[in-house]
A and B are shown apart, each in its own frame.
Chain A
């Protein structure tokens, strides 16, 4: 019983982070109408950027965020404006292929510079936990990752509702042609949206890198998580993303606890599959 309770706690905490893993992809789905197949790879790229920053500056992973976040924004903006925007008018497939290309390029660049070895963003916090009872403990790093994930989503929601740029992004998402008639430069807006999406990938990439081993090829794992969160939550719904993250995290960890840890990923896929069949528009679609 305690073991189940323990995994529920862990699953929920992980879920908060998963929500933030998915929210950036959901945004781009909703606003630019691109399925960013490289979202997971960008996330892992951020883990490696953090690793490099930590090595060069002697910083801890959290401090590295002050470099990782702006770097990821710039990467996102440039990628969108110089490449994705150019193929947007040619239908759905070309942008999809371009993001697939990014995925391959990122993986191979990381392989070239960092080898295929397992990496980790180390911090002593990983070993700390708060005892709730004799057998139940809250791992501190899971708690931090969850709070950071939830904070990312709350800040994003605030930005979208309360800033002119956020309103322009939502307007563009509703009707990009009418937005242009209001003076909104939509290509630039897409660039900013992708930059913000990459900022979320940056933050979550660092949290993931602290919690788990990562490799140049880890992107696909996080792409699936992001995809699941988008599908369960409903495209473009920030609150839906949050609930979806919790559901997915719970299913993975609790399922893994019951069936064995090796089944964790499989259980995630099965939840995703069931969701796609039962309610493909997501729980909270607009």
Chain B
């Protein structure tokens, strides 16, 4: 399998506050990499570094054969990286349709007709089509989470970064989101999927990476990682909460 993403010796800090260090891993095309780890481990920070919202102070990120370590978020988007926020951040003043339209129009250079077709397609696949004309600020949490995914998909990413899509949802809602992710896997898109509660992603991933205090603790097949002593120790306190 071709490697679509290569992260090498990544170091990320917010100002002087160092968060990620010596983090290295690869992602193969069309695979799902799960990233787990306790709160504050640096999962969202990894998303920020991959989507360009923070620039690492050391290390490299190579995506689809191009060194994107220092590229801006919009360049990365057009290059094929899509990302969702852990806490959804829709464009509140725009309708659901407009939210998706912006991604379709700017994330990929398309003709006007193709943009609208793309927007309709992603809204249908994320069960949001009926709510196209709703102002995004009025959506429920589940729909906001869907819109995060829809908007990212509209930019036609080769790599999709999902940051805790299940967090804050009821069990029934989590089930719906899971089905959506399963559908996405079927489309062949590469996914990095962060989840704080591991059970949620369970066996849906091809590889699992556990982060702890800003670096990779253990990486491998899900069964192997889940059974490891390292993960058990990291999650010991957390799972009892």
Write the chain A residue with the least CB distance to B92. Answer: A174
Q: Give the docked Cα–Cα distance between A175 and B90 (Å).
A: 8
Residues of chain A in range 160-195 having any CB-CB distance to chain B below 8 Å: 164, 167-168, 170-171, 173-175, 177-186
- CB pair A168–B105 under 8 Å, yes or no, is yes
- CB pair A185–B74 under 8 Å, yes or no, is yes
Which of B94-102, B210-218, B223-231 participates in binding chain A? B94-102
Write the chain A residue with the least CB distance to B88. Answer: A178
Contacting residues, chain A, for B91 (C-beta < 8 A): 170-171, 174-175, 178-179
In the complex, whether A90 has a CB less than 8 A from a CB of chain B is no
- CB pair B152–A184 under 8 Å, yes or no, is no
- CB pair A170–B106 under 8 Å, yes or no, is no
How many residues of A sit at the interface, in one of the four size bands? 10 to 19
- CB pair B101–A178 under 8 Å, yes or no, is no
Q: Give the docked Cα–Cα distance between A171 and B52 (Å).
A: 19
Task: Among A177, A180, A182, find the residue whose CB has the most chain B CB atoms closer than 10 A.
Answer: A182
- CB pair A183–B106 under 8 Å, yes or no, is yes
Residues of chain A in range 221-255 having any CB-CB distance to chain B below 8 Å: none
Given contacts A174-B93, A180-B74, A181-B73, contact A168 B102 (CB under 8 A): yes
Given contacts A171-B102, A177-B73, contact A182 B155 (CB under 8 A): yes
Q: Give the docked Cα–Cα distance between A175 and B87 (Å).
A: 13
Write the chain A residue with the least CB distance to B108. Answer: A183
Which of B12-20, B77-85, B173-181 participates in binding chain A? B77-85
CB distance from B145 to the nearest CB of A (A): 14
Contacting residues, chain A, for B31 (C-beta < 8 A): none
Contacting residues, chain A, for B83 (C-beta < 8 A): 181
Task: Among A179, A181, A286, find the residue whose CB has the most chain B CB atoms closer than 10 A.
Answer: A181
Write the chain A residue with the least CB distance to B148. Answer: A178
Q: Give the docked Cα–Cα distance between A181 and B159 (Å).
A: 13
- CB pair A183–B115 under 8 Å, yes or no, is no
CB distance from B178 to the nearest CB of A (A): 23
CB distance from A165 to the nearest CB of B (A): 9
Kindly identify which residue among A167, A170, A182 contacts B107, using a CB–CB cutoff of 8 Å: A182
Q: Give the docked Cα–Cα distance between A186 and B74 (Å).
A: 8
Given contacts A181-B83, A182-B107, A182-B151, contact A167 B77 (CB under 8 A): no
Contacting residues, chain A, for B190 (C-beta < 8 A): none
Kindly identify which residue among B52, B89, B106, B154 contacts A168, using a CB–CB cutoff of 8 Å: B106
Map CB proximity to B onto A124-167 as digits: 1 under 8 Å, 0 otherwise.
00000000000000000000000000000000000000001001
Which residues of chain A have a CB within 8 Å of any CB of chain B?
A: 164, 167-168, 170-171, 173-175, 177-186, 286
> What are some 19 contacts across the A-B interface (CB < 8 A)?
A164-B101, A167-B98, A167-B101, A167-B105, A168-B102, A171-B99, A173-B93, A174-B91, A177-B73, A178-B85, A181-B51, A181-B82, A181-B152, A182-B102, A182-B103, A182-B106, A183-B155, A185-B74, A286-B93
Knowing that A175-B89, A178-B91 touch, tell me 15 more A-B residue pairs with CB under 8 angstroms.
A164-B105, A167-B101, A168-B106, A170-B98, A171-B91, A171-B94, A171-B99, A174-B91, A174-B92, A181-B53, A181-B152, A182-B77, A182-B103, A184-B106, A185-B72
In the A-B complex, the 3 residue pairs with the smallest Cβ-Cβ separation, listed nearest first, are: A183-B107, A183-B106, A180-B73
